[in-house]
Amino acid sequence: MSSDVIDPQVEVQQLERENRILKKKLERSNANCLNLEETAQKKESLLRQVIHELGESKESEALLEKQSCELEQALKDLKRTQTQLVQAEKMSSLGQLVAGIAHEINNPVNFIHGNLNHVQDYAQNLLDFVQLYQSHYPNPTPEIQIEAEEIDLEFIQTDLPKILDSMKMGTDRIRQIVLSLRNFSRMDEAEFKTVDIHEGIDSTLLILQHRLKDKPESPSIQVIRNYGDLPLVACYPGQLNQAFMNILANAIDALEEVNTKRTYEEIRENPSQITIETSLVDSTSVKISISDNGIGMPESVQQRIFDPFFTTKAVGKGTGMGMSISHQIITEKHGGRLDCFSTPGKRTEFMIQIPVHH
């Protein structure tokens, strides 16, 4: 077949084929057109929004300024935290030092205290002996008479037992303080034990005694103890005492702050008080409430009271760690809870609840 002669059948087939392809193209082009229109519409919307956002970015300059202010504040806070950390480190060393000193004092004090009993016995024997001598020789020689008057024998006889008694009281107190210091730091008792919670509170109060007692500028802070009947509680005694210490010291700080604005007379009329109440919540847990009649705390302070490094005190005075550590000791180490209730202008209460068996 020559090239210029076309078979009609082939031509028809060719035309049919072209027709099929064209029809398909037509079907498709409509769908494609709609799709393209939609894509273009989306693109337009997208670009319009991006342009809008560019405009907004001018407003965001103000936002940036605000953010930079916040950053500056964060930097200030960070510097403050750093100072506090250094302070906390100092306090921690001090704690170890105190525990060490308490341990060192313990031996010589026990030595004095133990020997005082013998001294008392010997002194009593000597006094009895003098008395026996006097009853058998009512009229001594003038030399003895003069000497007895010189040394005021009669006074010695009545005063020596008193002096020895008061010395014993003194060593007793030293022993108690040392015991409390050791009890409080409990460096040697890191493990879990069942203890009398009241003993821990009393030790802590004894250590804080110097801050509670009468001072020239203010009368003493009254401590009211309403102790309930508590079972022995399984806990880390050293750590729990640290929590009591932090809460009690905080209460004293609060009361002292109020008292700086009051006269001695005013304080005496309305004395500062710390109330400690303990009770059994149910058979499984105990409650210890420590409250003061200070000025309370505003809501903003209450919210952050357990935040690490949060403090309302001047740099160097508070570490901002006390309450946060107490919270951690009670909640994490003892599975308990520590809540703070405060009425601004009136009082603040810290409520500790810990399980009896951990």
Beta carbons of 254 and 344 less than 8 angstroms apart: no
List all residues 6 or more positions away from 256 whose beta carbon is below 8 Å from its beta carbon. 211, 218
Among 6, 43, 188, 196, binds other proteins (CB under 8 A): 43
Q: Which stretch binds other proteins (CB under 8 A): 16-24, 148-156, 181-189, 193-201?
A: 16-24
Closest to 290 measured CA to CA, from 248, 331, 323: 248
Binding segment toward other proteins, per CB under 8 A, in 31-39, 178-186, 211-219, 256-264: 31-39
C-alpha 146/C-alpha 277 separation (Å) is 62
Using rule CB under 8 A, residue 14 touches other proteins = no
List 31, 139, 141, 142, residue binding other proteins (CB under 8 A): 31
**Of 6, 50, 69, 91, the one binding other proteins by CB under 8 A:** 50
42 binds other proteins (CB under 8 A): yes
**Contact pick of 28, 173, 225, 317 for other proteins (by CB under 8 A):** 28
By the rule CB under 8 A, 17 interacts with other proteins: yes
Return the axis-axis angle of helices 237-259 and 197-207, rounded to nearest 10°. Answer: 40
Cβ-based nearer residue to other proteins, 39 or 117: 39
The SS3 of residue 235 is: strand
Distance spanning both ends of the chain, measured CA to CA: 106
Please tell me whether residue 46 binds other proteins under the rule CB under 8 A: yes
Residue 288 and residue 226 in contact, taking contact as beta carbons nearer than 8 Å? no
- Candidate list 53, 165, 188, 307; residue touching other proteins; CB under 8 A: 53
36 binds other proteins (CB under 8 A): yes
Among the listed residues 338, 327, 323, the one whose alpha carbon sits nearest the alpha carbon of residue 285: 338
The phi and psi torsions of 312 (rounded to 5 degrees) equal -105, 0
Q: Toward other proteins, which CB reaches closer, 38 or 307?
A: 38
- Residue 275: phi and psi, rounded to 5, are -110, 125
Residue 63 as a binder of other proteins (CB under 8 A): the answer is no
From CA 281, how far away is CA 239, in angstroms rounded?
22
Q: Which of 6, 12, 15, 49 binds other proteins (CB under 8 A)?
A: 49
State which residue, 51 or 71, has the beta carbon closest to other proteins.
51
| Residue from 10, 23, 111, 307 binding other proteins (CB under 8 A) | 23
Q: What angle do CA 259, 261, 267 make, to 5 degrees?
A: 45
User: Please, which residue, 53 or 121, has the CB nearer to other proteins?
Assistant: 53
CA dihedral 142→144→148→149, nearest 10 degrees, is 20
**Which CA distances in Å does 103 have to 27, 127, 133, 185, 239?**
98, 36, 46, 11, 18
User: Does the footprint of other proteins cover residue 67 (CB under 8 A)?
Assistant: no
> How near is the Cβ of 53 to other proteins at its closest, in Å?
6
Contacting residues toward other proteins, per CB under 8 A: 17, 20-21, 23-25, 28, 31-32, 35-36, 38-39, 41-43, 45-47, 49-50, 53
